[in-house]
Structure formats: structure tokens, C-alpha cells
Structure 1
Amino acid sequence: MAAALAVAAASACGSGSAAVAEGDPILVSVSIAAPSAAPIFLAETLGYFKEEGLDVEVREIANASLQVATGQVQYGAVNTNTLMQSASEDIGLQGVCVTQVDPSYVLAVSDDTWNRRGLTESMSLKDQLTALQGEQITAVGGRTVNPGAKLLEALLEKNGLPGDWIGVLSMAGASQATAAFQNKQVGVIFQPQPQPDQVLSHVPGRILYSIGDSPLFSEMDNVAWSTIATSAKFAAANPDMTKKFCNAIGRANNFLDDNPDGAAEALKSVMPVDPEILKNAMPTYKWARDGSMSESDFFHGVEVLTGMGMFDQAPSPDSTRAAYTAAYQN
């Protein structure tokens, strides 16, 4: 929440609607070069942005919401958790099209943890989770802000266990989180692919559970997990640009859904992942068709995420309406 307050303070100093100067590229932020940001990288690699007449520059920026909300960066990949927390501070950050839906997180353990905790293949998921009491996962930003950490809490609670049954060790970045597993600082990982496969390629272990294959999270079908966000003022001042941007993202989403192998091939030069691991990871992601989602469907998804405890503060109807619009989608 401190990050959201910082954004709010910064927003008071800037309009968030500054036009892109002639000759300057449209700046787009991603937090990390990972499959979650694939639509942006793919739209750039396959020329979708250029075909829309957009000159785009993608930058890796740790705190995307800060620069996007203040208009320093025109568009950014923002997960719904961050979007709604920012909306509660009324800073003008707005989702304009949807990227990932139906998140697929994987729970895996090292062989050392498997043996030390007495896990067996015949155990139910609940029994395996019960045996992991006191173990820790790593999460960038920690329990209060990391959506994966909150999703783990929901998984534990769905199995009748307290949300803090497995602890959360806060890390500053993904590389530190991977190193913690490799150094046996933690023995459990709960991340989307390709992180689990990457880690297990260095540290022997096994996958226990995948949300994407489980009926436990069926309520998350078609729930927006991440969006393309911008300043609401910038979008209103540049509607044609925003529509073109969303159109390019929608084309990339469709390519990712229809041809995940081709997407992996196109992305291998921009993502620091073993090409075979990346190829195996891409089909585990689901994307909003055409980048589109109705406002009512988005609002329903926020209600689902709220019911799962994904937000520190339940979003109000007004903040939810301010946080997302389908006005710039085709």
C-alpha cells in the first residue's frame, strides 16, 4: 500500500495526460521479461505495433504503476491486484485492455523437502500441504503485495488450512527468489511457469499441484489477472492511440492462444529462458481474446478476487468503475 500512496503523491504533481512529443516513441513498461508480459513483447517482435502506426519502446521498470499513473510512461503491464490497490487511492490508473486471464501457478518442492517432510505420491493434496507446515515460498514484495502469495493463501484455505500455514519470504526480485531455492534457503516454490521448471532444472524436485489443471479455482475462469494500464487522462486525451495499442495487444493475445509454440520461438530472443522450457511454459497461459473484456465481466472478476482475499482493502464500486474501461477496445 505504501507504493500506492507514493503514486498518489506523485500524481498530484503531474497531469498524467502529457502528449507524446513528435519524434519520441511511446513508452511501455514491463516489470520483467517473462511470459506474463508476452503480449507486449510479441506485439513489438511481430510488428503489430508498427502496423498500427505506433512507434513503441518497451522498458523494464520495477514500479510500473508509478510512471504510468503520472504519465511518464504511456502504457504498462499491470496486474489486477496492483490496479485495484491503486484505484483505492484515486490516482487515475486505468486498465484499458486485458492480457492474461485464469492464472496458472505451480506448487513444487525440492527433493530435499519432499524427503524431509515425508511426502508421498499417494498423499492427497491436502495431506501434502499439511505436511509442509512452516515451509516458506519466496515472493517479490512479500505477502501483502504479491498476488501469488495471496493466491497461495487461497489454496491453503480451500484445503482447510490457515493462510499462513506456509510462510512467505520477501524478496526484491525474481533472480533472488530463484537463488533462494537453489541455495536451499527455501524448499517450496509457488510461481507461474517457467520459473518452476527453471528452478527444478538446477535443483532436483517435483511438481505437486497446478492451479491451471484444478477444479479448485474454477471461479477464476475468465477473471482478468493482468491488464494494459495507462493514465485515465492520457487515454481520454489520446483515444485513437489507445485503441490502436489495444488492437495490437489483442492480436498478440490471439497469437499466443492459437500458436504458443510459434510465440515461444518469436520470444526466445527477448526472454532469458531456456528455449525448450519457454516452449513448455507458453501453453500454460491463457489470454483475453482480442484483448477484450466487458466491464461487467471485469467487475465480476474483481468480486471473485475480493472474495478470495486478494486485496488488502475491498474495492468500492466507484473505484472499480474508475479502474477499468472497455471504451478503447475493438
Structure 2
Amino acid sequence: MNPRKRRFLAAAGCLFATLIGGNAVAQNAAQGLEKQKVSIAVGGKNLFYYLPLTIAEQLGYFKEEGLQVEISDFAGGSKALQAMIGGSADVVSGAFEHTIDMQAKNQFITAFVLQGRAPQIVFGVSNKTMPNYKSITDLKGKKIGVTAPGSSTNIVANFVLAKGGLKPSDVSFIGVGTAAGALSALRSGQIDAISNLDPVITMMQHDKEIRIIADTRTLKDTQELFGGPMPAATLYAPEAFIKKNPRTTQALTNAMVKALKWLQKAGPSDIVKVVPESYQLGDKALYLEAFSHVREALSPDGMIPEAGPATALKTLQAFEPQLAGKKIDLARTYTNEFVKHANASTK
């Protein structure tokens, strides 16, 4: 046998062994899981808000943990929550605030890994329909675009309005989604203001289509708006699911923490290679510019800050009358136990 053929066969043998070994690891991991097939609902998977979920999926981190994850994408976080409540999803990749809102309705759901330590949501006024905007009160009677009514973009908009003296009922909220629909609604004049996320916000900024009123893409701006740390995207599930499937929950957390740690080291070229091209809205350079705006907002380790749940509750109480007088057990809205184990075993 000539040396070249011998080297080729040796290399092929090593590759085969690696593939077999990887499958064996995943199979061994799967054997210890209570539930191997897990369905995750998300509201706007193309958003940087949920970038860690996309990374975990695209780089095979869920598979490494022995999981078969099916991700269903919805127009907004409230729709993803409805899917879980209705039984068509096991877990939601969604905003932390929903754990508080649902507890107020006597439904206990728990966030178990943090994706974002700042909401990344931007509230802006249309330069087309409101060129003479001066204050929040100018928005009375106007139409505000959100990803979906009841979603985190709606919640942040409500809070911004409340700080300016308006109630949610003083405006009309319209669901516009998170991509082309949001751009179209603003550009056609269907909405007067928008509460949305990157990359669409950076595209609107770039074309000078909006005037930014509130920005939560950095820790500093988030602290100033909410008065404390504000947990954003999480993975959350019904309390009963987590109790019944602790090893499955741990596997999901392990995959997400791997994704978060990968993102801490990744460069722009790494991001565009992994993220589906359709998420980049036809402009790779602008997509990377948008990523630079939100990078700081991504959690480095998946830990929910101890003061974060109280900030979220205070924010919701500013405009949600149904929370008045309601006793919320914040300790049941989140847990860091799975994240602690994941960080101990993931470099």
C-alpha cells in the first residue's frame, strides 16, 4: 500500500471513530434523561434576544446532551407562552416577566437559565408620522407596533408610557412581528411608534426612520430605565415539568451555557457562519453592526441576578392593576441551581 493511501485510510478511520464516539456520547447522555424529545416555543427566533438558543441549536449542543429539540417559532413571546400553556410546547425561550404574570394567575412557571441580562428592546417614534414629537404625551391615541400584544416588547412599551404619564389604554398596540413585517409597518405609516429589537432596530436607525426614546441594549441604559438589573430572555417551563424532568432540564441548561460561553469568545465572522443567512435580513454588515450594539446584553454564564426578579416585578406593577395587592413569591419564578451545575462542568 502506498504511503498516500495509508494516510488517507488512517485519516478516514480517525474521522469515523470521532463520529462514532460523538454519537456514543450523545446516546449515553440520552439514556439518563427522563425526556429526550423536548419542544421549545420561541417568539422571534431571528432576534439577537434569542441568539444563544440559535447557537445551541446550530452548533449541536442540544444533541451533545442527548436531546432531540424541536423549536417552534411564533410572532412574539406571548404566543410562545400560549403554546406552552396549551400543551403544544414543553419549554419556552422567552422573557422572564412572564413567570411573574403567570404566577399572578395561579400558574407557576420557572426560569432556569438566563440568555440576556438586558432586554435589548428599543422604543422609538416614527420620523415619518411624528416628525414633531416632543414628549410621551404626544403618543396618546397613536398606534404602537410591538412584536405581539402581551409580549416583552409590549411590556417595555407600557413601562415607558407609564413613566411619561400614559396608560396602556391610551394607545393602540399592533402586532408587527420581528422582521420584515415590522419594517413594513413602520415604513408604510401603519404605526406611529415601535417597540422592537435588533437587527430591525439598527436597520431603522441606519435609515434614520425612528427617533429613539428608550434603549435597553446596554447594562447602563437598562439600569437607568428600570432602576436595577432586568433579566430578559430565559428558558422557562412549568414548575411541574422541571420537578418531573430534572435531568432533562439540566441537559437543556448545559447546552445553553455552552452557547453563552461560545458567544463570549466568538468574533463577527464566527457569528455569521453559524447564524442562518435568512436572519441577517439581506445585509450582513448591518447585521454585525446590530450585534455590536447588543453584545454586552448577552449573559456570560446564564445566572439570573438575585435582584433581577424584584426589578421585573416593580416594572410590571407600574402599569398592571391586576398585580396590585397580589403576593408574588419571587423565589418560585426562577432557579439558578441548574446553571450552577452547568458552569461547574463547562469551561
TM-score category (smaller protein): 0.7 to 0.9
Query: What is residue 124 of structure 1 aligned with on the other side?
Result: none
**Structure with the bigger percentage of helix:** 2
Alignment of 1:128-277 (within 5 A): 129=136, 134-142=141-149, 145-158=150-163, 160-163=164-167, 167-171=171-175, 173-174=177-178, 175-199=180-204, 205-209=209-213, 210-212=215-217, 214=221, 216-217=224-225, 219-221=227-229, 223-259=230-266, 261=268, 262-269=270-277, 271=279, 273=281, 274-277=283-286
- Structure with higher Rg: it is 2
Asked if the contact 1:268/1:275 (under 8 Å) is kept, the reply is: no
Query: What is residue 289 of structure 1 aligned with on the other side?
Result: 300
Distance 1:283 1:200, change over 3 A: closer
Query: What is residue 104 of structure 1 aligned with on the other side?
Result: 120
Distance 1:166 1:279, change over 3 A: farther
Distance, in Å, in 2 between the alignment partners of 1:85 and 1:27 is 22
Offset at 1:42?
0.6
Give ranges in structure 1 of 5+ residues lacking alignment.
Answer: 1-17, 120-126
Q: Secondary structure at the match of 2:323?
A: coil
Distance 1:146 1:239, change over 3 A: closer
Distance, in Å, in 2 between the alignment partners of 1:260 and 1:297 is 31
Give ranges in structure 2 of 5+ residues lacking alignment.
Answer: 1-32, 342-347
RMSD of aligned residue pairs (Cα, Å): 3.3
Distance, in Å, in 1 between the alignment partners of 2:126 and 2:315 is 30
> Does residue 44 of structure 1 match 2:51?
no
Deviations 1:25-45 (A, max 9, x none): 322221222222211111011
Distance, in Å, in 2 between the alignment partners of 1:208 and 1:165 is 22
Distance 1:130 1:326, change over 3 A: same
Equivalent pairs counted in the alignment come to 295
Offset at 1:257?
4.3
> Does residue 53 of structure 1 match 2:66?
yes
Distance 1:81 1:246, change over 3 A: same
AA of the residue aligned to 1:28:
I
Amino-acid identity (%) = 18
Offset at 1:246?
0.8
Structure 1 window deviating more from structure 2 (149-158 vs 320-329): it is: 149-158
Asked if the contact 1:264/1:275 (under 8 Å) is kept, the reply is: yes
Offset at 1:113?
3.5
Distance, in Å, in 1 between the alignment partners of 2:203 and 2:166 is 29
Structure 1 window deviating more from structure 2 (241-250 vs 269-278): it is: 269-278
AA of the residue aligned to 1:324:
Y
Q: Secondary structure at the match of 1:212?
A: coil
Distance 1:98 1:54, change over 3 A: same
Offset at 1:75?
2.1
TM-score under structure 2 length normalisation: 0.71
Distance 1:166 1:44, change over 3 A: same
User: Paired residue for 1:300, among 298, 304, 310?
Assistant: 310
Asked if the contact 2:145/2:176 (under 8 Å) is kept, the reply is: no
Q: Secondary structure at the match of 1:217?
A: helix
Distance 1:207 1:71, change over 3 A: same
Offset at 1:326?
2.2
Asked if the contact 1:108/1:207 (under 8 Å) is kept, the reply is: yes
Q: Secondary structure at the match of 2:154?
A: helix
Distance, in Å, in 2 between the alignment partners of 1:65 and 1:164 is 21
> Does residue 309 of structure 1 match 2:319?
yes
TM-score under structure 1 length normalisation: 0.74
AA of the residue aligned to 1:287:
L
